[in-house]
Copies of this chain bind each other. A is one copy, B any other.
Amino acid sequence: MRSIVLRTMSVIVLGLAATRAASGQVSPNQGAKYIKEFGTMWTFEAPPLEYWKTRYGFTATQEWLDNVRLASVRLPNCSASFVSSQGLVMTNHHCARTCITAVSPPDSNFQELGFVAATQQDERKCPDLYVDQLQSIEDVTGRIRGAVTATVPAKQVAQRDSAIKAIQASCGRETGLTCQVISYYQGGAYSLYRFKRYNDLRLVMAPEEAISFFGGDPDNFTYPRYDLDLTLLRVYENDRPFQPKNYFKWSAEGAKEGELIFVTGNPGSTGRLLTVAQMEYLRDVQYPAQLAAYDRQLGVLRELSKRDEMTRRRLENQIFGLENSKKAVTGFFAGLQDSAIMARKRAFERDFRRRVSADPKLLARYGNAWTAIATAQKQLATLSTRVRWYTFTGSQLFNAAGSALRVVQQAKLADSLRLPPFRGDGLEQIRNMITGSPAPDLESEKLLLAAWLTSAKKELPATDPFLSAILAGRSPEVAAEALINGTKLADPAARKALVDGGTQAIAASDDPLVVLARKIEPLSRDVQMRAARLTDVISAKAELVGQAIYAAYGKTLPPDATFSLRISDGVVQGFPMNGTIAPYKTSFYGLFARSAEFDDKAPFRIPERWQRHADRITMGAPLNFVSTNDIIGGNSGSPVINQNAEVVGLIFDGNIQQLPNRFIYTDEDARAVSVHSRGIVEGLRSVYEAGRIADELEGRVPVSQP
């Protein structure tokens, strides 16, 4: 579950009136019964107390819930938690990469070598890192709806966005807290989350990347797994360790087979409310195109990587990011191609629509949403080839030329009439991106542009005016060569002059990329505007679906993930795999086995420190484990706790079978993957000689004050 870009913070929804039940406990008679397909990403506003009691015999008191909420914290891109009385914060290694690199001395690389602070004095401050602790939640759906008075969709969006900003700003002023409005149910409801922010985080311990990400891209999103994907940070206040009132104690035994466990954290984005038509569009149009684009880009980058070692290193992260995305989307795609999953989705939608149809009021308000979405998706599908290629995404400089022209042109329009990326803050961000990017590698530019044109040529008709204008009778390679050789836009100053010079500078430019952009931009704008109008319709209707889910099922269904704090119940459990059974846990034996079985080649190399200390390790000790908890990207770093709110593990991934859970929760073989709490202690003591930290986690000895 590595670094899938979380787009949830900028979900665009349109405001339409909806009723919303009061927060609090779910009554068993209220609304429909628990629907498994919607999963268990419960909000702290509406924890499923009756469901937990019935299913597990577990009673969560308000005190338990408050403690769990306050012991959980959010990193900018991940989840984390307090795990000691002295402010230790546990998260994944892959969530703290930036800090680990930043605190590395010039002559060393903690990312590669690992880091253990021998004493508290050795803990190193992470620049610009913070965690947010959720203090309270307030339903603000009514306030936001009240502010939306316009009838034009794009104006409604602007009104809603400024209402949200106003709520957040006044909350910040009044409380001194960090405030954020969170949307539920595709904009069906809104809540204000108030956070206490901690700004002083220091690196305490990080393993070698070779062990935190053992198995690399091949094992990413899979299980059985053998990763110590851990980083320990510490929150400081006034240069002293912060002593949180709420933190998770350490479980002596760790996760046990069959045990009820909870995961708290911030799942980024799910699409369980999507209609069948939306899922079919993803399956038939968007994902195949997206996968082809990944392959095209990977092809170019791999080609470039062969040039020399420096280039290989420079592109390594980008290649990894693309491979990661490709693997994730391949999994989502596989889910949508699974007829059993689609059949479940259809069955749910039938039930949902029957409930809506059964009530004349609901029918009048929501009844046409599904058909309207389906129609718009179909129209979008017929446009999709042009939408995909009538862009400036072929290379960085090609993009700079098109964007420069658009920034100047779109700035003149009212916000609601602009192309979506240029609405709100978008225009300014794009301007900064154009003028601020360093000069790109021209060889990459040529290869990327040529590859992009080659693919476009395969998909667009021979007579296509957009593509013909670019190629002008040349082959993709020749055209790319000429355009990149001819342009001056590699120089950031040239780009700045162009954007700052406005309409006149654009019109006067004889830079071949600008000349081309002037010619083809109107063709592109026409197609993109038509697509934007269809997307607006889909968003508006999707919000109706979000409201309807309340009306039809009450509050029993957890809302889709929106990178906000959730608590998910689950059970520690293996699963059927590959004709046999995947065990509920893995072991240090397994780590050494997988390395030996790939002849100790990367990404299956065991780092030197681990080889050196191998004879100290209790090889049969648990290293990772799986459970049925409902997680997704953003949950990285989430603590796994037992009924006593003790740490039994640390979420770091899902298995490959879990990827389709983006659309429908399943637990036949979908599993969350965690580092086992005993594996953490075993690693700290046997390999890292970090008894100080292990003792603190286990609460064994009083921690000395600096």
Contact = CB atoms under 8 A, between A and B. Distances in A.
Contacts of A579: 221-222, 327, 331, 655-656
A253 to B, nearest CB: 13
B583 A594 contact: yes
Contacts of A598: 583
SS class of chain A's interface: helix, strand, loop or mixed? mixed
B578 A577 contact: yes
A252 interface: no
Contact of A596 (B218, B619, B656): B619
B583 A587 contact: no
Interface string A593-631: 110111100000000000000000001100000000000
Contacts of A394: none
A180 to B, nearest CB: 34
Nearest to A257: B599
A257 B598 CA distance: 10
Contacts of A348: none
B580 A218 contact: yes
A592 interface: yes
Contacts of A585: 597
**How many copies, total?**
2
A428 to B, nearest CB: 41
A105 B154 CA distance: 88
A254 interface: no
Interface in A331-369: 331
Contacts of A577: 578
A208 B548 CA distance: 63
A577 B257 CA distance: 25
B578 A587 contact: no
A472 interface: no
Contact of A620 (B218, B221, B580, B596): B596
B215 A580 contact: yes
Contacts of A594: 583, 590
Contacts of A586: 593, 597
A705 to B, nearest CB: 40
A22 interface: no
A34 interface: no
A287 interface: no
Interface in A255-283: 257
A4 to B, nearest CB: 15
Contacts of A655: 578-579
Contact of A590 (B257, B578, B580, B590): B590
Contact of A592 (B331, B599, B619): B619
Interface in A189-234: 215, 218-219, 221-222, 224
Interface string A556-582: 000000000000000000000111110
Contacts of A294: none
15 contacts: A219-B580, A222-B578, A577-B578, A578-B655, A583-B597, A585-B597, A586-B593, A587-B593, A589-B589, A589-B592, A589-B596, A590-B590, A592-B593, A592-B619, A592-B620
Interface of A: 215, 218-219, 221-222, 224, 257, 327, 331, 577-581, 583-587, 589-590, 592-594, 596-599, 619-620, 655-656
